[in-house]
Structure 1
Amino acid sequence: MAGREWNPLRRLLALPNESRAKTILVAFLVSAVCAALVSGATVLLRPIQAANRAAEEQARIAALVEGIPGMAALLEQSGGTLSTVVIDLDRSRAATEVTPATLDAALGDPGNWTALDPAQDLAGLGHRPNFAQIYLLRDGDDVSLVLLPLSGQGYGGRIDAILALKGDMNTVAGIAITGHSETPGLGGRIQEASWRSSFPGTELRDEGGDMRFRVARGPASDVHEVDGITGATRTGRGVTQMVRFWLGPDGYGPLLGAIDRGEF
């Protein structure tokens, strides 16, 4: 009479293939081995996956910004690493509870908008969002370019734009008009490259820190002005007020000060 087999693996293998116990145990062992392999692969691949996600995010941001007319060449000239961040405008710093992915949902909440009184409301918005997504181009630790979304009322309706500022947070690098309802051939010329070409090099504030930017009624006469558009005075005034509001104390002004001081 053969002695009893004490090796559990051999005892398992000796069971009939139709045995329920054998089926369950084999399935458990296969699952355990697969889980261990997957866990090990996850640990080994995690740095590669993180790098791939970062590269994908960088490509997504670049594609989004370069889709704005006139910005691709500007980014190429400036160099550096492009990133995006949602700003808490009340605190003039990066938002902790809102991300680019959740920004639209956050702005769907009326509680995330601030009512503006007439003295504040230079841009004619009525309400200002508490959060805004901006883009930063960094060269090492320094911000070399910042892209800021703007909106305000023109003659025909709302004007939307992206304003690019150089690293001194005072010199305009360029502007893109992303939406408007101005009269074709008149105010609608704000979308033309010939008008937008007067923006680069314009300085927003004077040496005393006072906001001086404006769209002139005719050709620009100093470093704080851009060319006006004949027959579109109200459109020019709308652009002036839009820029002054958003780069002032109720818009990005405090944030730009923090960036200029190296605090952001």
Structure 2
Amino acid sequence: MQQSNTYVIVFSAVLTIILGLLLSGTSQVLGPMQQEAIALDKKKQILGAVISSAEIDAMTPEQVNEFYANRISSTVVDINGKEIASAEITAEKVDIAKLYKKPAEERQYPVFIFHAEGNLDEVESYIFPLYGAGLWDAIWGYLALETDMNTVGGITLAHAGETPGLGARITETGVQQRYVGKKVFDDSGDLVAVQMMKGEGKDYTGEEHKVDGMSGATITANGVNNMLKSYLSHYEAFIRSKSSSQAVAGL
């Protein structure tokens, strides 16, 4: 039997309201869970710069949160290396991606500090967030510097849409391990960062500022290079304030 136009309109309106309420309720229920998952993933990426992925994978979410709380402290600085004293601005809440389009001098820069087990007074590494552009989309990561503020202790790299088997390889442990032990300042004390070279298969063991590249992924590699140099320059004032003259020549 054909229904009247009024019936169809009322039925559609009621159905829309019901579906809207269901979606809203689902969002209210799942929203906190999604935020917890995002926060957990961020903690894993930060920790990945200082401990192995195997160690992280072996932890439950509760263990990750506990390890992070016991070993990581944080602060936020400006481009001049000065700490930003504000209860509302915390390192965990600073959104590097949203700030990326702002002028460098207007951004806030989180710093994560990795402490010795059972001793929050002893620092083992400083961890710096990174953000940039790859071939197709955003790339980001976390770089750990040892307490000499020159030696790379570790790095995690991630991407939004690099090519599988090519640029997406920046997430591989083997690629990231190439950075460990490299230096970001040269013998004159100039910031040079670490450069991923074009091509793959060369030995850069004796090169303090170079790592082997990824075959067929030159543009992604260049994106990583630009990201490292750019963000290290933004953190340079802070890095120099924490370094000693013995650790980095010229600082």
TM class by shorter chain equals: 0.5 to 0.7
CA distance in 2, matches of 1:225, 1:200: 11
From 244, 247, 254, the counterpart of 2:229: 244
User: Which consecutive residues of structure 1, in runs of 5 or more, have no partner in the other structure?
Assistant: 1-60, 117-127
The amino acid of 2:232's aligned partner reads L
Moved more, 253-262 or 196-205: 253-262
The amino acid of 2:112's aligned partner reads Y
Q: How many residues align?
A: 183
Q: Classify the secondary structure of the residue corresponding to 1:94.
A: coil
Matched, 1:180 2:169: no
Aligned-residue offset at 1:162: 0.8
CA distance in 2, matches of 1:157, 1:106: 15
CA distance in 2, matches of 1:227, 1:69: 24
Q: Classify the secondary structure of the residue corresponding to 2:238.
A: helix
CA 84–93 in structure 1, closer or farther in 2 if over 3 Å, else same: farther
Q: Mapping of 1:104-143 within 5 angstroms?
A: 104=94, 114-115=102-103, 130-139=107-116, 141=121, 143=123
Aligned to 2:242: 259
CA distance in 1, matches of 2:76, 2:142: 15
CA deviations 1:168-196 (Å, max 9, x no partner) are: 11111111123332111111111111111
What TM-score do the two structures reach when normalised by structure 1? 0.59
CA distance in 2, matches of 1:84, 1:185: 35
Matched, 1:65 2:50: no
Aligned-residue offset at 1:201: 0.5
Sequence identity percentage: 26
CA 229–114 in structure 1, closer or farther in 2 if over 3 Å, else same: same
Aligned to 1:150: 130
CA deviations 1:35-84 (Å, max 9, x no partner) are: xxxxxxxxxxxxxxxxxxxxxxxxxx9996345573463598xxxx6333
CA distance in 2, matches of 1:96, 1:66: 26
Aligned-residue offset at 1:239: 0.6
Work out whether residues 162 and 178 of structure 1, in 8 Å CA contact, stay in contact via their aligned partners in 2.
no
Aligned to 2:71: 82
CA 64–132 in structure 1, closer or farther in 2 if over 3 Å, else same: same
From 81, 85, 90, the counterpart of 1:100: 90
Over 4 Å off, 4+ runs: 61-64, 104-108, 139-142
User: Which consecutive residues of structure 2, in runs of 5 or more, have no partner in the other structure?
Assistant: 1-38, 56-69, 246-251
The amino acid of 2:83's aligned partner reads A
Aligned-residue offset at 1:104: 4.7
Aligned-residue offset at 1:210: 2.2
Matched, 1:214 2:195: yes
Report the RMSD for the aligned CA atoms in angstroms.
Answer: 3.4
CA 62–143 in structure 1, closer or farther in 2 if over 3 Å, else same: farther
Aligned-residue offset at 1:233: 0.8
Aligned-residue offset at 1:155: 1.1
Which structure has more RCO (C-alpha within 8 Å, separation ≥ 6)? 2
Aligned-residue offset at 1:197: 1.4
CA distance in 1, matches of 2:114, 2:50: 13
Larger radius of gyration, structure 1 or 2?
A: 1
CA distance in 2, matches of 1:226, 1:154: 18
Q: Classify the secondary structure of the residue corresponding to 1:65.
A: helix
Aligned-residue offset at 1:260: 1.3
